Amino acid sequence: MAAASGATILIHLGDFYKDGELLLKLSKTVFRVPGLYEPEYKDPSIPNRFFKEIAGFKFFLTHSDSREDEDLPGDINPRKVAIENESDIYLYGHSHLYEAMIKGDAMFLNPGSLKLQDLRSQTSTFGLLELGSNKAVGRIVDLEGNTLQEAILFKL
């Protein structure tokens, strides 16, 4: 579905970090972070949270949107990033509950979960981002292709 929609960059926000290797077969550009309870989260050579510039937008990628006991020393504080408006687009997972919204000058997007029969999520969903020169459209999409939520960010 991502390829059919024209996606060129794939982003994995944790839980089953190794699934990101499958994404590498679908796109040359894949960014990913591990989930809290995966061995990769404790590996200092793998970033748990990071910033990435994509199409003129500053992205922040994290699994959890708050500090966690599992964090490594030096891990970026995601609440600080949100409060201080340090990114244009803030991507996170962990709760498995999808949402797409604008808070202040930033888009916050949790794609939900693709895991079938996930007891924490409403339904299987993923996120799609469409980036223009000064506009980002974030959508939450179900496996039938229906848009469940949408947020639009204009960058001045």
pLDDT tens-digit series, residues 84-131: 999 999 999 988 889 999 999 999 999 998 876 666 667 889 999 999
Question: Residue 98's pLDDT is what?
Answer: 94
- Whether residue 85 lies inside any domain: the answer is yes
> Residue 117 class from Cβ within 10 Å (0-12 exposed, 13-18 middle, 19+ buried)?
exposed
Residue 141's domain comprises 9-154
Q: What is the largest CA-CA distance in the chain?
A: 41
Q: What is the pLDDT of residue 118?
A: 62
**In whole angstroms, how large is the CA radius of gyration of the chain?**
15
Number of domains into which the chain is organized: 1
pLDDT at 28: 85
What was the pLDDT predicted at 121?
A: 63
User: What's the order of all strands across the beta sheet hosting 49-54?
Assistant: 49-54, 57-62, 89-91, 106-110, 99-103
Strand partners, 102: 107
Residue 1 domain-assigned (yes or no): no
Q: How far is CA 37 from the centre of its chain?
A: 17
* Tens-digit pLDDT profile for residues 21-61: 888 888 889 999 999 999 999 999 999 999 999 999 999 99
The model's pTM is 0.93
Whether residue 2 is contained in a domain is answered as no
Asked whether the predicted pLDDT for residue 66 surpasses 90, the reply is yes
**Parallel, antiparallel, or unpaired for β 57-62 and 49-54?**
antiparallel
Counting every residue written for the chain, the total comes to: 156
Reported confidence tier of residue 18, pLDDT bands at 50, 70, 90: confident
Q: DSSP H helical segments within 8-148, as ranges?
A: 19-23, 78-83
The CATH number of whichever domain residue 42 belongs to comes to 3.60.21.10
Domain-located, residue 4: no
Is 3 a member of any domain? no
- 88 is a domain residue: yes
Residue 2 pLDDT > 90: no
